[in-house]
């Protein structure tokens, strides 16, 4: 991957393919205090008002910079690293490789909270861990005054849902969700009926005096890859058929249609929605329904298998942050008569963690 100059033209070469970089594209990226606000990095000019026949008058290339003078008299100095990063579409988050894991995962991702933690390099490491494994656990988080709100808003901003800005997970009479009981919860993703589905869930343990009530996690990415490899027909139909997910209580009806396994533009894993108490498969030909029900049963067997589930007990002050598009979570049963089990939860979106990660990477020059 390199930049070459030829006859006052800039060329980008990658894996043997050589393409000219449009002069206007470079002109839009000029920097300096006259053209870009120092604080916000926003342009101080409107590129739509420039003449479209922008050309390059002169070029100079060094190991670190590309100096350009354009035919409208503007001179700029662009960092080669920044140009290459943009030309190759490198995304700081997208290129963090997912690490597949199953029940053999013994070392959980613990990070200890401290003063100024959200602006510390340790927070950057925690976010990298989150994108690799789909979850991270913070310890010693204050348990008073709904600190979960402060925590979430220090990364990005809370995504409010019909459950409120945040919600209290504990047994209560007449619940509108099984989470608010002491019953066991099988592996599932939250809010599959919402559009868009909340990206990241945060659960903060305030009290946990019971013997049961273990938190459980399953890596939907690992399971999807296994299904694709060993049961391709099942994988294929779960990525093609849109099912209806629905939530109903006294004040709202929420519905959305989606594939159980959603792929990105390159056909790679993007998201799983799994909550069999809330899904409604459309009427199809009997043979296709037979295949779909077999596929759903098989992936459910994987999700509920001891081979893929990890279990752990959250202690007061522990805060679990997990990717709701990748992981399934649940809990084991517990006896509410033994004592209190009280967790607080909320949601944030991906731009929260992505923005924080990029900010910290820039701050510490990582």
Cα–Cα distance for residue pair 310/59, rounded to 1 Å:
57
Instruction: Enter the tokens of residue 311.
Output: 């279990």
**Residue 41 pLDDT:** 87
**Residue 231 pLDDT:** 98
Whose tokens are 């459309």? That residue is 282
State the burial class of residue 280 (Cβ atoms within 10 Å of its Cβ: 0-12, 13-18, 19+): exposed
What domains, with CATH codes, occur in the chain? 2-87 (3.30.2020.30), 110-361 (3.60.130.10)
Degrees to nearest 5, angle at CA 185 with 255 and 196: 30
Helix (H) or strand (E) holding 348: strand 341-348
Taking a C-beta distance cutoff of 8 angstroms, is the pair 3, 11 a contact? yes
pLDDT under 70: residue ranges of the chain: 90, 171-182
**Residue 184 pLDDT:** 73
Give the pairing type, strands 17-21 and 9-14: antiparallel
**Residue 181 pLDDT:** 63
Torsion of CA 204, 208, 213, 217, to 10 degrees: 30
């Amino acid at each position: 991957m390199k930049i070459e100059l030829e006859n006052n033209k800039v060329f980008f070469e990658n894996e043997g393919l050589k393409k000219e970089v449009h002069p206007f594209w470079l002109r839009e990226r000029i920097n300096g205090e006259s053209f870009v606000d120092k604080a916000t990095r926003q342009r101080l000019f409107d590129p739509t008002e420039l003449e479209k026949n922008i050309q390059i008058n002169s070029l100079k290339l060094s190991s670190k910079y590309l100096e350009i003078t354009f035919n409208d008299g503007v001179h700029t100095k662009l960092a080669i690293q920044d140009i290459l990063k943009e030309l190759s579409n490198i995304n700081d988050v997208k290129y963090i490789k997912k690490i597949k894991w199953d029940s053999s995962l013994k070392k959980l991702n613990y990070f200890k909270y401290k003063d100024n933690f959200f602006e510390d390099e340790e927070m950057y490491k925690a976010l990298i861990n989150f994108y690799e494994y789909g979850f991270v656990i913070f310890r010693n988080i204050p348990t008073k005054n709904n600190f979960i709100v402060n925590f979430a808003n220090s990364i990005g901003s809370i995504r409010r849902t019909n459950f409120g800005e945040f919600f209290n997970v504990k047994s209560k009479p007449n619940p509108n969700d099984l989470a608010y009981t002491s019953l066991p919860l099988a592996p599932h993703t939250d809010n599959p009926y919402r559009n868009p589905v909340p990206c990241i869930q945060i659960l903060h343990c305030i009290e946990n005096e019971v013997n049961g009530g273990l938190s459980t996690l399953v890596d939907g990415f690992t399971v999807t890859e296994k299904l694709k490899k060993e049961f391709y027909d099942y994988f294929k139909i779960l990525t093609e058929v849109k099912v209806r997910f629905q939530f109903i209580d006294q004040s709202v009806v929420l519905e959305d249609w989606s594939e159980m396994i959603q792929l990105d533009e390159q056909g790679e894993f993007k998201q799983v929605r799994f909550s069999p108490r809330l899904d409604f498969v459309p009427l199809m030909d009997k043979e296709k329904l037979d295949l779909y029900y077999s596929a759903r049963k098989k992936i459910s067997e994987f999700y509920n298998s001891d081979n893929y589930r990890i279990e752990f007990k959250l202690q007061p002050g522990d805060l679990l942050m997990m990717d709701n598009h990748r992981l399934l979570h649940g809990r084991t049963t517990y006896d509410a008569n033994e004592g209190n089990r009280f967790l607080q939860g909320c949601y944030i979106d991906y731009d929260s963690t992505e923005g924080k990660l990029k900010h910290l990477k820039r701050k510490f020059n990582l």
